[in-house]
Chains A and B, each alone.
Chain A
């Protein structure tokens, strides 16, 4: 593998809550190559979303190291991580997380505005066209269907042309038809821009489309899945 885009060494995550300390991830070691698509699968509570979060610097790992594009995320403070994300990462959520007081266009333009891009709105407009929502650019999230909202979220994640796309169950809140349309769009965007895609999913069909599937259980990478690329059972399920 050439220089990995994402490299985790013994990454661990523990959080202090009211009920005491909870160990969520244990010794995750993983490299993801440029342009690779990786599916994170596993039962609820296995640590999939948490792994995605520490990859995106959304959560600070409590142990080990996480490098993204050669940068040590564990050495960055919150603001440095925010700046890194807006330059190199796009994130898609299950619940879309569009800002309700902003129109579709403004939502998509937000990461560009944060980067200080002068043509933020032109580029956002083009990205909305690309996801088929050019005609809805002035609409607010509350005026759109779930599928449309997720398309806006995809446009927002890809508009900065990120090196890494992180998606947390992007079809989890959508029906079958909408879910599959979003899936197509996500992979289409990834193909067009050549980004590395890491997605968390419960859907076997979606996981099957990934270059590599990583199975998590109890905060660890399951041994049997560690080296399985294009897992045949998942491929079969997808077919």
Chain B
């Protein structure tokens, strides 16, 4: 017996057409298409970022410094290696417009540029004009351009005047496109671009002011970027230099896209798992139909392996067809929708057909099909010739042969392993897989529980025949209850988990904050402004609390004399520059957990008090030394105490505090948080801004809203992924409803013969669907709440409360979906004439 003979039999069997396989194909195609579309879009964005790397960055390479401009050595090196250098200062400030009702203020992210900006790409303005014209002085005032959001907020029109610090500017145009905006990362305020030379009288870039300087380089063609980066790092090691180049022009964006893409692919995988339930149900139903054919083949002498191969080849062929349809959809949809997607994306994308993500989704599809179809296929070979003579007696085993279980386990491990490999986030993959497995197990138990309950409840329901028939029908078939509860339940579980996580995240960042969060952060307060600033606020009865601290920014470059990355890896504390402060005594709420704070008036070698949790994470403790680069100068201190720092209250929290004599000499400003009544906020802002134009106020509520906006976008993207999962679940549901039509038709015919009205039968069908939907919804809710709790508790470290509106929507959605699917297939059975049906069964 050869594989060729099995293939021949399989081909003949496939002549039966795709009847019974529509849901199978749809499930597989939809799951693969979702993953392929996400992957293709991610590849398109990555290609766009790579293609536009230099334009996004605003140069072939960029050197970035915090708190300072480049020193002469650094400038000399840049001028030596580059054909052109452009210098930019980037910082936050308040734009002020004087009006009849007082001044309007808005937080803005300022980009102070030179004449060379932009080295690559073009700034687009409305009305259309060159940037140098827009920034040039008009009517004695320097020009500036702003984004529409800020223009509207300040009530400005082109040609109007506004103030930054103590300098007035003319708004000469609206900034409609900033070519290097994606490289800038997360900004709290809309952008304003002006010439750096026009800031000379603005008193904004005083020593200690928080700003970053960026130097964009145009490099000669063929420059080896990696070698140049190594050279720069070598020369200016520990100077606080950050290097970016056109190989990855917007590292923040590409990392974000990469992570979001990986996450959405995992959400897509859960959709594929739901599809797998449908695929499995379809194969089971198909093989059940084929029982007599299989038994006949066994009678004619077919071995078990022949039967398995015959149906494996058939299902494999159909799987390939489903995957091919999915790949075509997933590859072509993003290309077809490219104009719409590009219009909504703030970053460039090159939509095309990318083989990589298609290959990835095809592998996912193949492995899913393999894992979910092998079980029913393996049981097909257990069909015995005697089945032709009798149905129920001596029924086959529930479990397939052990070798198939091993293969299923291998397929599953390969699926999870490849998902981890492709997504690059093992822990997220394992969490997702664990979550899906947990939800499936819970749903399988629930399906069995619902059947058990129905079986035991049915005899107790007297006088309500419709309900009794519904309970009887649920308890009667293992397949029906299981496929409905599993398919719908898993889709709803994913959606419920997303709803719970999203809701709790929003609660964490906004819901609980007003009680404890300050109204404003004031930054860049100069040392000599502190007395007046404090006096204004301390005398205000509406202000309940002011916390002020000196703030510098520095980079931890070494730990115990070794490069920090070698000791602490990629921990966020050593990633870029961090705020640090100094203090004579511990602040009011500081709790020292180890060691001792330095004595008052201490002037010895620098001492450090470090945040206890972060110290443990990066593996440092009392007695360890840290070298911190502040404004290009290295300061090495010893950790002498650890303390608790609470970041959740949005107040001031510094990882690193030093004794005053260590830092006082460095130029710095102060940061201050003000806790005030809502009604007093506007007046405080006016007074402080008028008295100290250089001080920037960040309204905490606005900042939180901005973060919430970003999170809302993430939640929306995740919800789309979950919706694809739910759609697949609904397809499986329709498949299950369609598969049960014949049984329901017979049941309805018998009930009609016994005198049941169509209304009563319909009520029974609806009750059955509603009970299953309720079960699926309830389990999904439990799984979703458990998932949400786990993510909130272990991943985000936030409190968890059940978001009831979302939870109830899940249950109602579950009941509605099963009712719609169930009743859509009820009309046929209700309309059929009993005589026809019953004669056909004889």
Contacts and interface: CB of A to CB of B under 8 A. Distances in A.
B296 A99 contact: yes
B772 to A, nearest CB: 24
A230 interface: no
A131 B426 CA distance: 66
Given A22-B393, A99-B293, A86 B16 contact: no
A229 interface: no
A116 B1 contact: yes
Q: Interface residues of B toward A: which range? A: 20 to 34
Interface string B281-325: 000000000001101111111111110000000000000000000
B303 A83 contact: yes
A222 interface: no
Contacts of B386: 53, 58-59
Contacts of A161: none
A115 interface: yes
A22 B394 CA distance: 10
A106 B13 CA distance: 11
Contacts, number: 95
Contacts of A58: 298-299, 384-386, 388-389
Contacts of A83: 301, 303
B300 A101 contact: no
B392 interface: yes
Interface in A101-121: 101-102, 106, 110-111, 113-116
Nearest to A103: B12
Contacts of B201: none
Contact of A116 (B2, B8, B292, B393): B2
B397 interface: no
Nearest to B17: A101
B5 interface: yes
Contacts of B8: 113
A31 B298 CA distance: 26
Contact of B302 (A59, A101, A114): A114
Interface string B361-398: 00000000000000000000000111011101110000
A114 B301 contact: yes
Nearest to B299: A91
For B14, B16, B296, the residue with the greatest tally of chain A CB atoms inside 10 Å of its CB is B296
Contacts of B14: 101
B15 interface: yes
Nearest to A50: B389
B12 A102 contact: yes
Interface in A161-187: 168
A175 to B, nearest CB: 16
Given A78-B384, A85-B300, A110-B300, A16 B389 contact: no
A22 B390 CA distance: 13
A80 B393 CA distance: 23
Interface in B803-835: none
Contact of A93 (B303, B388, B390): B388
Contacts of A114: 1, 5, 297, 300-302, 306
A27 to B, nearest CB: 20
Nearest to B4: A113
A79 interface: yes
A64 interface: no
Given A53-B386, A101-B16, A82 B301 contact: yes
Given A97-B292, A113-B5, A113-B8, A16 B394 contact: yes
Contacts of A59: 384-386, 389
A53 B295 CA distance: 13
Interface in A71-88: 78-79, 82-83, 85-87
A18 interface: yes
Interface residues of A, number: 36
Contact of B388 (A97, A99, A156): A97
A100 interface: yes
Contacts of B12: 99, 101-102, 106
A49 interface: yes
For B293, B297, B385, the residue with the greatest tally of chain A CB atoms inside 10 Å of its CB is B385
A168 B298 CA distance: 16
Contacts of B301: 82-83, 85-87, 111, 114-115
A232 interface: no
A144 interface: no
A119 to B, nearest CB: 14
A92 to B, nearest CB: 10
B16 A85 contact: no
A53 B2 contact: no
Contacts of A99: 12-13, 293, 296-297
B300 A111 contact: yes
Interface in B76-114: none
A53 B15 contact: no
A78 B304 contact: yes
Interface string B249-292: 00000000000000000000000000000000000000000001
A237 interface: no
B389 A17 contact: no
A97 B290 CA distance: 11
Interface in A1-18: 15-18
A38 to B, nearest CB: 19
A100 B16 contact: yes
B17 to A, nearest CB: 9
Nearest to B305: A79
Nearest to B381: A78
Contacts of A22: 393
B389 A156 contact: no
B389 A97 contact: no
Contact of B300 (A15, A18, A100, A156): A156
Interface of B: 1-2, 5, 8-9, 12-16, 292-293, 295-306, 384-386, 388-390, 392-394
Given A85-B301, A110-B9, 10 more contacts: A15-B393, A17-B394, A58-B298, A78-B298, A98-B296, A99-B12, A100-B293, A101-B15, A114-B306, A115-B301
8 contacts: A16-B393, A16-B394, A82-B304, A86-B301, A99-B297, A100-B293, A101-B15, A114-B301
List 3 A-B pairs, minimum CB-CB distance, nearest first: A86-B301, A58-B385, A17-B393
Interface of A: 15-18, 22, 49-50, 53, 56, 58-59, 78-79, 82-83, 85-87, 91, 93, 95, 97-102, 106, 110-111, 113-116, 156, 168
